Structure 1
């Protein structure tokens, strides 16, 4: 890679300036290059700073943003054109007419319009005009608050310069892209522009800086900037207006089943897609606080799908995007939220406080683009699936078919994002530090293990970011520098420099960036652990393959909402592929005994190398198994104190808070191995799975602002001892909890199972009684159930 500053052209000048830290290109192949130049600083080089400002003010070369690929934006009148297109939409006009008609019916029923009056028709027409005029005024206000206002090239040039200054100070190594992916994206952008079709960017979401990085790339490469869906919680004074003029489309966090607002959002999206404007929406809906991908949110995705299914839009191209960071600015606040602290409302002071972090050196940003694909072609392929047979009705009429299609679309995008994601050096180091048995690791062993992990990732088809041509030790040193002493500590005065994880909870964010690559192998390792932990010879630790399949299936179902599993032919095919891979790596062996039974066990080679591979997979999944076990144990808290209280419903939030408190107590008493298991996201995922399986019944009250409530299903409710009132170690819930516990990491405190069970259940019972006492005292009338349960759909059995 040429490290000299290239001439400014409209092609692809992808290099940093001489002497900048961008001259040290982190890359895994020769096509990876730094896209954003390191900006000059006034205090360091005032002449260069003035020169760069002058180039942006004058709009020299690519900075002018004149000849963009795609539909025209940033011109005077753009906003009014979009507003006019929205207001002219037949769908919106029908909704306005429908709402007007409904209001007139109400007023007639309430005798505000008198049918017996001789002037009834005249009064009705007059009132109709008043209502529709009021609705139009309200609609115009909502539109003005919602639509982005990309009006001025002077503004966007200034915004680009300012944001790049800030970003290159924080991420001093720059924003990296893959040239081959960019060339491919450019060809699709050219094709889309000719067809007047949109490119729909669907990135993952780890940081507020995700809003910035993709916009900078599109600006730098001369693509039409996408309209970005953003929650109106970010629409606070000064910052909100700035973002709206840079491309943000503000939407409410909740639509509250407002038919006019829902129609307005759909109409705005239709208008953008019909005119071929690029569009951006975060597929996860919110920032991932854990480092791994969250499940897809289907709100905006359903609007996009509906626009093409109904034919209002001919087609659009879907482009999944992965954004990865050496270090994420918000991780400190993520940890606080996961431990139960209330989320802080976004405001200007918080934004300025976050901006102060921009003075730190946080490494680099990697942005990767999947090959775009036609949304229309995706719909056609789904229509040909057997599950979408014609006897289920038209694709436009069948809600069930459309729901399945929407779900498939969401998980396909997530799978594509995982396929292109780059594993950062900090994620490599973080993963190694959290998958070791010892307290710390020497520098030479850390380097060896990072090399080993790079090989594992590449063997799985993953991508690793590292310094081109530099030794692994250099990569490790730079990762340690970015992570800093608050995350990675050093033990002084030893024979070798030794590192250890200071904050394992926060470090888990970076470890979780790799787990999607090994989830199938990790589940197999955890299932086999039920035998491996028994010790003894190889014959004792072997597992019948049918038993292995059963346990892996159980864990896969348990974590269905926690992980994005590899796209393929289903669980059986993924399991078979993973087992074959573990055999090829000589981690496990599968053989048939003389009795005709098929067994799986660790190979002699894997034992000789200290179970290095096997232990790695176990350490990856154990924190999540702990969280699922904690969730199951916390359900014991929902056991009614007596038969008289079986109709009491527990507030969902209070139940989850109680589960966190239980987890923190068990961790500090030695009955829980991983503190990160108490994070509220994993507990929420566990409770969602429990509700899907019918273990708990969740109810909502539409007429109340209170959150959802819950209780145990009758056939899952544990029994109490008739004399002591203690929870009995029996029943479906206990068996379910024990099945999870089989795969937990064995610890010194848990070898006496009976003692642990008694201690843990005693604590769960204590917290449960407090929950019921709190709910009883909050009831408005004696023996009054708080809500009526809604119907619970049971999808499968764990």
Structure 2
């Protein structure tokens, strides 16, 4: 009984406490309600209406009394409100009667990523929305969830990232291995390999069914292991987990967010509705690219692709993680079928790619192969592209949409490649190295990230267009050398021929098809490079290494960066940053850090302090990585300016004039020398045509002045049609440009522009010259090392001021050029790559003549002193 009484007592106390709490809450609400000025105004209106309905009988109601009391307490508030209403009314009257001033509009960006108007006019017009104009607006993909769930519940608003990942679309990724095992080419490769192994056995000629069965079983086991090593295991649950983790990681490492252009996403949605597979072709900068492209597509409502990743990324845990995100692993090098390649592997990879496309999967592969070590776009590796093109040509697929993708970072997530550029071996990825890299990355602010998608381009349309370019189909002549004066006719074709090799080509693939694959690959790389958003660190690094290499004040640097940004916008390039120049420069200097830029710290005397690139070689190499995005943009103009300087530096006359034909010949020679470094133009455009366009730019900037004589006018009109390039039938016609001459401008602006263009590619020419000077029979590793030592010694003795010239990539590219010219041979001896000078050039005078054609462009001009 006592227990019951105690229980009822507790219940009564709880009831009294809850009643007291309810009374307190109700009292607080009443207090707020009747003491709020806005509520008092509302009560006054209600009181007026009630009084009107009642005929004025209840005029002294409590509601009106409270309102009037409130009015008496705060007379100034209502007077202020009346004044604001009167001011607003008069302002509206003035706006209505006066001139209409449009509201400020957001900054528009040039249309980026459009398909080539020559090669793919249908693709250029197919995926745009004709009803809306593209303003180039950029969306931060990290804010999509916040905007979607802004009006949701409390949980959705505060856990918007998690809510978005939970609601992402679930896609069906079926296992394609059974269909790959049944593939005709794959089964044929297994059968051929089995018979080849039977022939190598001791009694292969008399092998019975039992021996054949055992060999066949062993080959099939090997084929199944190859397939398991290649295949991905895409998981929607892992994708959602990775999407949520990426939200947290990208917010931490990218303070400026991760942006993409909204028009690009809309184009992809319209293209996907066509029912064709999308093949994404990104330029490769970082290991983070694997996740970032998938992350961007997934968050914007598009199907994540299967990603071709190098087998070096198949490391414990992280390899499994990438595989569940859609990665399928491929070997970094596959020997050609004419040597000792693995036909089972090549057929398995081909069958896996084609069956994945047939299963409605999108595909992604990095056309450059590996990550760029220099920041410049690399030449294409056409392996997977050759598989897709071969499938189209033999009718396996009807068509595919190729989508060039560009990624850029204010600061590279992977760190830098200085060790490798200085000749140190690449460190292989391991679990602990990946873990340390992720931990270091998560504790560093890398600024902003941009991921942009070009217009989808029909593979069928590209093939049809390239079949019309006859100058790419003519027979290839003997290998070119700088002594050959027929560059204008043969250079474009020869460059495609020299680079059109792929380890996935079969023995029956024609030269024309190989050159077509190379041309399409180059077009994709060129399109992606031209649409890459330029970050503030790219522009600031380029200015510090060219225009202001000797150092300048902070205010001068800001003015130079602002002027360079305006010039890039006029050229149609997209800038991945906005804001005033002083804020842009401050952000870039803070991101680059004091180790790369002297005067980038917080100290100093404000705008008057000196800022300059750090003098050490590692700092110059890292700065050059960011600057090379602009070096690739200005490559054609820099080639022309360097060729011009090689002609005029020996002329001591006051009025220096240069013949048009002489200038173009020198520019074409230098274009061939740097063919391993740059893709100067799309393959549908002749290199001479691109150089003439750059020449017109120099004339418009008044760097060169045309000499105007009566005899020249008609010839000049004819030269604008590129007669020497396209008029092959009329060989007896005199050179229409023989009378055109140019005169150098002596204005300070023209001289500064010439100096900037010379310094744009001068480090490459320094590396090429040093490679030619040290050429001899030796292992390639030893030859590269001795050339690096020579460059470092010249830099230490101030004989060469370009620290970024100490580059392994530039030395290897020069060796590839000399190999194409037939000057050297490369062969493998005891698993070591070696270099041997060809017998024709064993005579030192002969090789000096060849190398002199490189040295002549690396001239010691007073313009750079």
**Cα drift, residue 164 of structure 1:** 2.6
1:258 aligns with 2:342: yes
Q: How many positions carry a matched residue from both structures? A: 661
Question: Which string of whole-angstrom CA distances, capped at 9 and with x for unpartnered residues, describes residues 406-449 of structure 1?
Answer: 11111011111122111111111111111135531222211211
In structure 2, the residue matched to 1:666 is 794
2:673, 2:854 within 8 Å by CA — same for their partners in 1? no
Alignment of 1:317-332 (within 5 A): 317-332=401-416
Match of 1:578 in 2: 694
Counterparts in 2 of 1:53 and 1:227: CA distance versus 1, 3 Å: farther
SS in 2 for 1:133: helix
Structure 1: 5+ residue stretches without partners: 1-24, 42-47, 116-123, 639-648, 720-730, 752-798
C-alpha separation between the residues in 1 aligned to 2:420 and 2:381? 20
Distance 1:67 1:243 in 2: 18
Distance 1:369 1:494, change over 3 A: closer
Query: Structure 1 CA distance, aligned partners of 2:836 and 2:157?
Result: 63
* Structure 2 unaligned blocks of 5 or more: 1-105, 111-134, 147-152, 336-340, 477-505, 713-738
Equivalent residue for 2:137? 32
The alignment's TM-score, normalised by the length of structure 2, stands at 0.72
Report whether the alignment pairs 1:179 with 2:262.
yes
How far 1:626 sits from its partner (Å)?
Answer: 1.1
2:482 paired with 1:482: no
Give 3-state SS (helix, strand or coil) of 1:711's partner: strand
Deviation at 1:34, TM superposition (A): 3.2
Q: How far apart are residue 207 of structure 1 and its match?
A: 0.9
Map 1:475-624 → 2, pairs under 5 A? 475-490=584-599, 492=604, 496-502=608-614, 503-530=619-646, 533=649, 538-539=654-655, 541-567=656-682, 568-591=684-707, 597-604=739-746, 607-609=747-749, 611-624=751-764
Match for residue 188 of structure 2? 94
Map 1:262-341 onto structure 2 (within 5 A).
262-332=346-416, 334-341=417-424
Does residue 434 in structure 1 map to residue 545 in structure 2? yes
1:297-319 Cα distance to aligned partner (Å, 9 max, x none):
12222222212122122221100
8 Å contact from structure 1 (residues 291, 512) kept in 2 = yes
Checking the alignment, whether the CA contact within 8 Å between 2:316 and 2:431 is kept in structure 1 is yes
C-alpha RMSD of matched pairs (Å): 3.1
| 8 Å contact from structure 2 (residues 161, 247) kept in 1 | no
CA contact (8 A) 2:411 2:537 kept: yes
Which SS does the other structure have where 1:601 is aligned?
strand
Which residue does 1:706 correspond to in 2? Answer: 832
Quick check: 2:373–2:421 contact (8 Å CA) kept in 1? Answer: yes
Matched residue SS, 2:789: helix
Note the C-alpha offset of 1:220: 0.3
Q: Which has the larger radius of gyration?
A: 2
User: CA, structure 1 residues 104+486, in 2 after alignment: closer, same or farther (shift >3 Å)?
Assistant: same
Q: Which residue of 1 aligns with 2:498?
A: none
1:524-569 CA-partner distances (Å, limit 9, x unpaired): 1112223554586641x43333322222111101001111112253
3-state DSSP class of the match of 1:464?
A: coil
Confirm whether residue 626 of structure 1 aligns to residue 766 of structure 2: yes
Structure-2 change in CA distance of 1:418 and 1:114 (3 Å): closer
CA contact (8 A) 1:460 1:517 kept: no
3-state SS of 1:319 partner? strand
Shift of 1:620: 0.7
Pick aligned residue for 1:220 from 299, 304, 319? 299
Matched residue of 1:479: which SS? Answer: helix
1:702-741, CA deviations, whole angstroms, 9 ceiling, x for partnerless residues? xx4222x22223333354xxxxxxxxxxx24334434433
Residue 360 to residue 51, structure 1, CA distance change in 2 (3 Å): farther
* SS of the residue 2:599 aligns to: strand
CA distance in 2, matches of 1:586, 1:632: 35
Q: Which residue of 2 aligns with 1:64?
A: 167
1:672 to partner: Cα distance: 2.4
**d(CA) in 1 for partners of 2:247, 2:426:** 28
Q: Deviations over 1:29-85 (max 9, x none)?
A: 7533233326999xxxxxx9996896666xx456433266xxx33xxxx3xx21111
**Could you tell me how far 1:327 is from its partner in structure 2?**
0.9
Residue aligning to 2:817: 689
Q: Tell me if structure 1 keeps the 8 A contact 2:280–2:404.
A: yes
Contact 2:139–2:262 under 8 Å retained in 1? no
Give distance in 1, aligned partners of 2:563 and 2:576.
14
